Structures are given as structure tokens and as C-alpha cells.
Amino acid sequence: MEAESHRATYRATVSYDGSAYRGFQIQADGPTVQGELERALRRLTQAPVRVSGAGRTDAGVHAWGQVISFVTGWRHGAEALERGMNALLPEDIAVRELTPVEERFHARFSARRRTYRYWVYHAQVGLPLLRRYACAAPQRLDVAAMEQAAQYLVGSHDMAAFGRAPSGMNTVRTVERAAWRPRMAPPWTGAAADLWEFEIAANAFLRGMVRRVVGTLLRVGSGELTVDGFREVIASRDPAKSGVPAPACGLCLWCVEYGDSA
């Protein structure tokens, strides 16, 4: 059992395939990543442990570098705690790194920058081995126009057109990087494909923001919306003017960054 006098705060980097989950945050109507992490910790420590995540990824969204924090009275060291968690977690969730941190550290509120990546592909035929991790574009995209439009995201802007604030009314976010780049399709897809990666880094994100941004940029790539039209969508602050959210399967929380003291 945990000993109250030996409780410590831990930080862990977690990767997961989000296909089978209702999202990161605990839900009443289905499995979640947070729920699996807390279940593993409870079995390991024989006490309830509340996990906080840096990003509340939606149903079907993946993560390479989700960061969590939690407090526990575990007495056997970080290495044994990491091993024990991985032994108890389902195979689509893994703890990549775990370390004790200062008591004031919080995975969400201590974060300074979050980076997401989104993958889009175009191929002559469907690629079943890629469909869980990338969005299929029905036509070739004007990626140069999408890249040009994405630059309007950089800086501090009111992003109300792309999402809702998780709390309060502030919808201003500071985007530090937004760029498209080509990627090689994995050989196990079994076919040639144009694969593109969109990377966006910001101090924080609105709920649903990245998928709506990508969905709107895909309208630019298909010729449905001009580059200047994309800038007008941002200025409108109107969600009705943005594109339909891109599918969750293509989105991955890539990394979360903190200050040196974290």
C-alpha cells in the first residue's frame, strides 16, 4: 500500500494508438487512455492514482509524445514503476520514459509548447494499411497553396473559427510553427502514394482546433477555398466558415515541451 509520507510526483511520456479509445480523458461511455493508465497504476500501487495529461486528445487521435503527471506513494523507484506500468497496460499504450519531478509540476499547466502532426495521403487505390494513421485525399492537393495559407496561422490570433476554449472565453492562441512537408510512404503500405505531413506547434490549442485547421487547409488544397479566403476564415472567428474537421485517424500529439526546471 502507498505511504502518505513518501508520496512523490512523476512525469511520464506516453505513446498510444488511439483507434480503440474514446479519447484521452475518462468518459462514462467507453474506454479511454487515462482510464487505462489509472487502472494500471491502481493495480501496481494498490491505491487510486489520478493521472493528468498535457493534451486531451479526441477519440481516435494518436500520440507519440503525450505527457502525463501523477502523485503516488510508490516506494520502489521510477525504473520499476515504468516497467510495472508497461507490463499492465494494453499493447496499444506504452510508457516511453518516466521520472520523478518537482511537486509543482503539472503535465497540462506546466507545458509551454505542444506540437501536433497530421498525415494526409493520395493514392490511386485505397491503402488499408495506412488508413488508421492518415487521411485519404480523394484528389491530388495543391500543397504549395496549403503551405502558403498555413503561414497565416503563425503568430498570436483569435482562433475561434477553429475551436472552443477548454475553459473560460479566451480563444487567442500563439502558433509558433505551421508547415507542410512531404514524407515517404511506409513500405508496408504496399503501394506508391503521395504522403504529406502537417506540423503545427503552439503554446496551447482550442478543442478541435488542429482537425478544423487541417480540414480548412484541405479545402485550399482542393481549390475550394483560396489562400486569401483562408485568411478571411481566421479573421471571421466564425466556426461555420471553417472546413469540416479532418478525420481523427490522421492526427498525432507529437511532443510537449516544458521549461528547464520541469
CA distances from 162 to 94, 116, 155, 174, 210 (A): 31, 15, 15, 14, 8
Catalytic annotation, residues: 58
CA distances from 102 to 35, 50, 105, 166 (A): 24, 17, 6, 26
DSSP β-ladder status, 113-122 and 194-202: antiparallel
Say how many C-beta atoms besides its own lie within 10 A of residue 249's C-beta. Answer: 20
DSSP β-ladder status, 155-158 and 172-183: antiparallel
Q: Where are the alpha helices (DSSP H) in the chain?
A: 33-45, 78-88, 143-150, 209-222, 227-236
Say how many C-beta atoms besides its own lie within 10 A of residue 2's C-beta. Answer: 16
Could you tell me the maximum CA-CA distance found in the chain, to the nearest angstrom? 62
- Give the CA angle between residues 49, 255, 127 to the nearest 5°: 105
Candidates 54, 18, 22, 24; CA nearest to 205 is 54
Letter string b/e over residues 25-55, b meaning 16 or more CB atoms within 10 A of that residue's CB: bbeeeeebbbbbbbebbeebbeeebebbbbb
